[in-house]
Amino acid sequence: MKYSSTRGREQLLVSAEAIISGIADNGGLFVPLRIPVLDRAVIASLAGLSYQQRAVKILNEFLTDYCIDDLNRCIAEAYHADKFDDKAIAPLKTLPDGNYVLELWHGPTSAFKDMALQLLPQLMSRALQMTGESDEIVILVATSGDTGKAALEGFRDIEQIKIIVFYPYQGVSEIQRRQMVSQAGDNVAVIAVKGNFDDAQTGVKNVFNHEQYKEELAKAGFQLSSANSINWGRLVPQIVYYFSAYADLVREGQIALGHEVNFVVPTGNFGNILAGYYAKQMGLPVKRLICASNANNVLTDFLQTGVYDRKRGFHKTISPSMDILISSNLERLLYHITGGNTEQIKAWMTALNTEGRYDIGAENLTVVQELFWAGWADDAGTMRTIKDIYERYGYTADPHTAVAWQVGNTYRRETGDATPSIILSTASPYKFNESVLQAITGKDLAGKDEFDMLEELAGLSGLEVPPSLAGLKDAPARFGQTCEKTELEQVIKCLLVK
């Protein structure tokens, strides 16, 4: 299987090359030339397999240049019992009255980014061997909080790869910040950017698009790459959990093979939900993908009107991993629904850059709306939902999960669609303990110690505090550097070329 850019087919790469590059030379994202379709019998066979075995089946469809032994090794390393605290890896929980919750946060950093970022470093490391690449790869990451830690943990001490993470100064939770600045490893660096997530992401994208700068780094033996969900190696592992959730429902007799389900997906960069789109195109019986946003509801508006308009206020919310106004992965969806019209994609992305908006028109909107439904929840609604779920089901949900939950309820109410719904739960409630505790107890916790709150939440939820979070209390900070949003290039060069 070959990969090309969403903005023109002058580069045709195998997956190992696409994973090393991260982003295409023309600024587009790598997409597979065709989407493989699985027979019903193959989907049925997944029910009897472990998560790791399911992953091999799905990845083998896309990463055809990797041999099966390599895939097996990469997957075994990524989804190892030492790293995930649930042997199902992505367990599906059934609650009373027909709600299903797919928990994607049992990995080492307690958020769903681990699902992809435990595997990407393995795939990239193998790709370097396969292609005979001799340069050192430098992974640049812009993070709204969770990606940074998950990428640092995934890439730490991986040979021939360095990783530099940029996070928005004062734009992540205290737990997230501590997780990052205390990161171990000889090949890691963490920097706070004075700006919001979009500033950090735009800063990183600008570095990727600066040819002369990249040539200078190349002369020193460094090649840049990305661990954000613009990298194909981030997206493909995420397709697996959609199949896995479905296979679990079939195995447990909750649905018959072939019956449709809906997925409700808390979304920011459109990566999480785009993986669901690929799963549906591959033949997974999905009726609707329900896109759940917070007050940064640019995707809700887009999916309702066909106009993507980033010219709006940026909101800091209690679901910060979705505080995003430029959803990069939408470009891949647009590529697929236009039948690979690279000229059209280029025009829209140019318009987004220069005018801050683009309009996909009525015909494309119809196609999009058959696939997706969209809604959003504000912070007050998110807090009410956390409390409601806790009281009704005894389930403790993090704010991102609660956003999805609320939007899923709205969807059912407004459409009357009673198709079984799987809510993607993307973070452990402990990662956002302050908001969760406040929602459940109604107490104002401003200024309260993070670690006291972990204990208090443990008392209420009955869930064990993940040891990696409890251990942060005594973990010394290794990184305290901040930079302006215009300074990324200097900072990177300083770190690399000593």
Residues identified as active-site? 113
What angle is formed at CA 365 by the lines to CA 199 and CA 239, rounded to 5 degrees? 65
Residue closer to ligand PLP by CB (options 78, 128) is 78
Q: Is 111 in the site for ligand PLP (CB under 6 A)?
A: yes
Stretch that binds ligand PLP, among 105-113, 159-167, 462-470, 485-493 (CB under 6 A): 105-113
Closest CB 166 distance from ligand PLP, rounded Å = 15
Closest CB 235 distance from ligand PLP, rounded Å = 9
Closest CB 128 distance from ligand PLP, rounded Å = 25
C-beta of residue 16 within 8 angstroms of C-beta of residue 127: yes
Q: Is 405 in the site for ligand PLP (CB under 6 A)?
A: no
Stretch that binds ligand PLP, among 59-67, 175-183, 267-275, 459-467 (CB under 6 A): 267-275
Which of 119, 110, 79 is closest to 179 using CA atoms? 110
Q: Which of 176, 272, 382, 409 binds ligand PLP (CB under 6 A)?
A: 272
Q: Which of 108, 266, 276, 466 binds ligand PLP (CB under 6 A)?
A: 266
C-alpha distance across the termini of the chain, in Å = 40
Q: What share of the chain is helix, strand, coil (3-state, %, to 5)?
A: 50, 15, 35
Residue closer to ligand PLP by CB (options 332, 485) is 332
With a CB cutoff of 8 Å and minimum separation 6, the contacts of 218 are 135
Q: List, as own/partner pairs, every contact residues 220-223 make where C-beta atoms lie below 8 angstroms and the sequence separation is at least 24, other chains included.
A: 220/496, 220/497, 221/134, 221/135, 221/136, 222/135, 222/136, 222/137, 222/138, 222/162, 222/496, 223/20, 223/133, 223/135, 223/136, 223/137, 223/138
Q: Is 109 in the site for ligand PLP (CB under 6 A)?
A: no
Query: What mask, x for binding ligand PLP by CB under 6 A, covers residues 355 to 394?
Result: ----------------------------------------
Closest CB 371 distance from ligand PLP, rounded Å = 15
Q: Which of 22, 203, 268, 375 binds ligand PLP (CB under 6 A)?
A: 268
Q: Is 322 in the site for ligand PLP (CB under 6 A)?
A: yes
Size of the site for ligand PLP (CB under 6 A): 17
Query: What mask, x for binding ligand PLP by CB under 6 A, covers residues 123 to 162?
Result: -----------------------x----------------
Closest CB 386 distance from ligand PLP, rounded Å = 14
**DSSP-assigned beta bridge partners for residue 266:** 292
Closest CB 272 distance from ligand PLP, rounded Å = 4
Q: Is 113 in the site for ligand PLP (CB under 6 A)?
A: yes
Tokens of 163: 């990783």
Q: How far apart are CA 56 and CA 75, in angstroms?
A: 7
With a CB cutoff of 8 Å and minimum separation 6, the contacts of 452 are none
With a CB cutoff of 8 Å and minimum separation 6, the contacts of 429 are 396, 397, 398, 436, 457, 461, 463
What angle is formed at CA 278 by the lines to CA 275 and CA 284, rounded to 5 degrees? 110
Which residues here bind ligand PLP, judged by CB under 6 A? 111-113, 146, 229, 266-272, 321-322, 400, 426-427
